Structure 1
Amino acid sequence: MLNNFEIAILGYDFLKITNAIIMGTIYVGILFIAIGILIRIFPNLLAGYNQLSQRERENSISNGLPTFAFIVFCLMGIILIAGHFAAIGLNKPSLSGSINISVILIGAVVLIVFGKILTNKRVKKTE
């Protein structure tokens, strides 16, 4: 049987761990926003960008792939941070983890599918 002192210590540790997890969600959101900004400035950071042919690189830049990746990563970061505060506002902090996984998986699928479309779509030259 635990006495009151031991329960207080266990409760404090639980709160400490919970706060660390909560701050982790905010840090991940900020990280996604930073990655989006870096991809906008340095498109070579996109996975597989260096393997593209010159024509595919020109297509991806003219179709706005770096801008699209910037928007998706920033939206992922903003949704993670907003989802964290929404979960706290609903008094369900455990909901934050589900939101994190959902946002990351959906964002990855969107980036892969639409990134492939933007890379392969030919640019019509205007003369």
Structure 2
Amino acid sequence: MAHSMLIITRQSPWSGPSAREALDIALAGGAFELPLGLLFLDDGVFQLVPEQHATRLQQKDLTANLQALPMYGVDSLFAAKRSLNERGLDGAELSLPVELLDDLDVSALINRYDHVITL
């Protein structure tokens, strides 16, 4: 039986390659039907902001990768409420439907997976 994996993405989409790498791992795992979840934490919640203008920062837009997650079977998407609140983001206005978690729920989520990767 395949081990489950949680990918925690903590970097904003414009701060370097970590955000893209987290999405690439999630898409690859989904393609191989690996049971996995994706948690947006800290500045990683900025990846969920709609209508980003990545080209202004000479970065690639991650929107297409994010929208592809469900097509690859990556349906377990989570975001930390505290991270959203600290950054002034509204959970109802995100580009993807995610389950919003408080701090205790985040801890329980991490404990639920066999492997955890943080980028």
TM interval, short-chain normalised: under 0.3
Bigger Rg over Cα: 1
The structure with the largest strand share of the pair is 2
TM-score by length of 1: 0.22
Higher helix proportion, which one? Answer: 1
**TM-score, with length taken from structure 2:** 0.23
